[in-house]
Amino acid sequence: MIPKPPGCRYEVAIIGLGYVGIPFALAFAEAGCRTLGFDLNKDRIRALKDAASPLIHISDERLAAGLRQHDLTFTDDRGLLAESEAIVICVPTPLRSHLDPDLDYILDAGRAIAPYLRCGMLVSLESSTYPGTTRVDLRRVLEEGSRLKAGADFALAFSPEREDPGNERSLLTEMPKVVGGLTDSCLERARELYSRAVKNVVCVSSVDTAEAVKLMENIFRFINIGLVNELKCVYEPMGIDIWEVVQAASTKPFGFMPFYPGIGVGGHCIPIDPYYLTWKAREFGLETRFIDLAGQINRSMPRYVVSHLVEALNTHSQPVQNSSVLVLGVAYKANIADDRESPSYKVMDLLRQQGAIVDYYDPLVPVIGSHSDSAFWIGQRSIEWTPENLSRYQAAVVCTPHKCVDYAELAAHVPLVIDACHVVPRNRAAEVIAA
């Protein structure tokens, strides 16, 4: 096993303090590890030092306790990375405009680490990516910048994050942690590190295999969401309720796992990770037909939902042009504040392109930030939820089913509701259309 570097101030440093990095830094600190959290965003570091959590599922109180009761430090000083036994990279891996992988965040993190890399350190990548990224791309920038050799002078590993914001069963310390190492010695160092904070570490044969595990998990969801979205479109003209079908099928105790239809897929993993494999497969002259088809179906769902609204308005001799439409939810999934890759913005864009006057309500996303996938909406604020405000709209589209929203009140004040999430009670006050 590669020996640890002596005299380190921190046992682990986390690079990238977002939805993955903050929970991990807290988990290591709460497990008794001397933990450093690093991010280049000075405002983020300042907020974390003040125990102001940017994540709904991480309370200010828990963050304050981590800072007060445990050895947890937040910094934007990359020089402190040299004082850690291990460095865990938790940075985004987006797609470029033509659905090819963007490794800039990973490689920039590697270049930031390299000058401070010392013999005996462990570097572990958590970011979702295609097989070969850790072994080839990250390894190259680390070795070139440090003049050290991975697997001999320092340990290199990959362990995919499995964070699922909004899921009460997604407890980081309880979630089995898949780990792959560049060598057996690297794997052992990574296993020992993660075992400090996670109860069950699952070792696999290589970093490439660990990278493939993460892709398979998200591709599985991506394809099955595409399948149930397609079935919704097929069953509707037959007069069959897809939600009733899924509910009844779920009573089978084996061989079936429920997935639910919606307006598409969003977030930092599901709509992105499958295309990492699609891109990599082309290198081997292979096609990923299931992924491509599921992608086409999922991307078509916003247009499908908008078409239901247009048709319903036409039925009432109300053109979509100049109609006031309220979109419910811009977060990519229920009960979280993350709107990255949210298909709600596609719904809003399509409505605006057809001349509708579009507002949104989302208590968890009070203002649309600069990372929005549609520049037009940046800076727009959620409306205030009042009966008077709701009554101003000719129609509403439910895109994200937050539990904190009163959908009965929505139906009581808006005459037409397109419900893509099966959450609006059917009553006489409003016409509610499943989409």
pLDDT in tens, 376-395: 999 999 999 999 999 999 99
pLDDT tens digits, one per residue of 88-106? 999 999 988 888 899 999 9
- Give alpha helix (H) positions in 100-195: 104-113, 139-146, 184-195
Retrieve residue 194's tokens.
């993660």
Would the pLDDT of 373 be above 90? no
52-91 pLDDT, tens digit per residue, is 999 888 999 999 999 998 899 999 999 999 999 999 999 9
In the prediction, which pLDDT does 372 show? 62
Find the mean pLDDT for residues 162-188.
86
The pLDDT assigned to 168 comes to: 66
Residues of the chain with CATH 3.40.50.720: 12-205, 208-435
pLDDT number for residue 32: 95
pLDDT single digits (tens) 224-263: 999 999 999 999 999 999 999 999 999 999 999 999 999 9
Spatial contact of 29 and 67, defined as CB atoms under 8 Å apart: no
pLDDT score recorded for residue 96: 87
C-alpha span between 368 and 330 (Å, rounded):
9
* 278 close to 267: Cβ distance less than 8 angstroms: no
User: What is the CATH architecture of 12-205?
Assistant: 3-Layer(aba) Sandwich (3.40)
| pLDDT tens-digit series, residues 279-314 | 999 999 999 999 999 999 999 999 999 999 999 999
pLDDT tier at 435, thresholds 50, 70, 90:
confident
Arithmetic mean of pLDDT, 263-269: 90
The predicted model gives 21-49 an average pLDDT of: 96
Residue 429: the pLDDT is: 62
CB neighbour class for 10 (10 Å; exposed up to 12, middle 13-18, buried from 19): buried
CA distance 104 to 108: 6
Q: What share of the chain is helix, strand, coil (3-state, %, to 5)?
A: 40, 15, 45
Residue 430 scores a pLDDT above 70? no
pLDDT band at 173 (very low <50, low <70, confident <90, very high): confident
Q: Give percent above pLDDT 70 in the chain.
A: 97
Rounded-to-10 torsion of CA 360, 261, 275, 170: 80
State the pLDDT at residue 302: 97
Indicate if the pLDDT at residue 434 is higher than 70: yes
pLDDT computed for residue 428 by the predictor: 56
Catalytic-labelled residue, pool 269, 399, 404, 421: 269
* 269 assigned to active site: yes
Domain 208-435 belongs to what topology?
Rossmann fold (3.40.50)
pLDDT at 180: 98
113-137: average pLDDT = 97
Q: Residue 57 has what pLDDT?
A: 84
Q: Specify the higher pLDDT residue, 268 or 247.
A: 247
pLDDT category, 107, cuts 50, 70, 90?
A: very high
Reported as a pLDDT band with limits 50, 70 and 90, residue 370 is confident
Q: Over the chain, what is the mean pLDDT?
A: 94
**With 80 as the cut, is the pLDDT of residue 427 above it?**
no
Closest CA to 402 of 225, 162, 166, 242: 166
Q: How many CB atoms lie within 10 A of CB 47?
A: 17
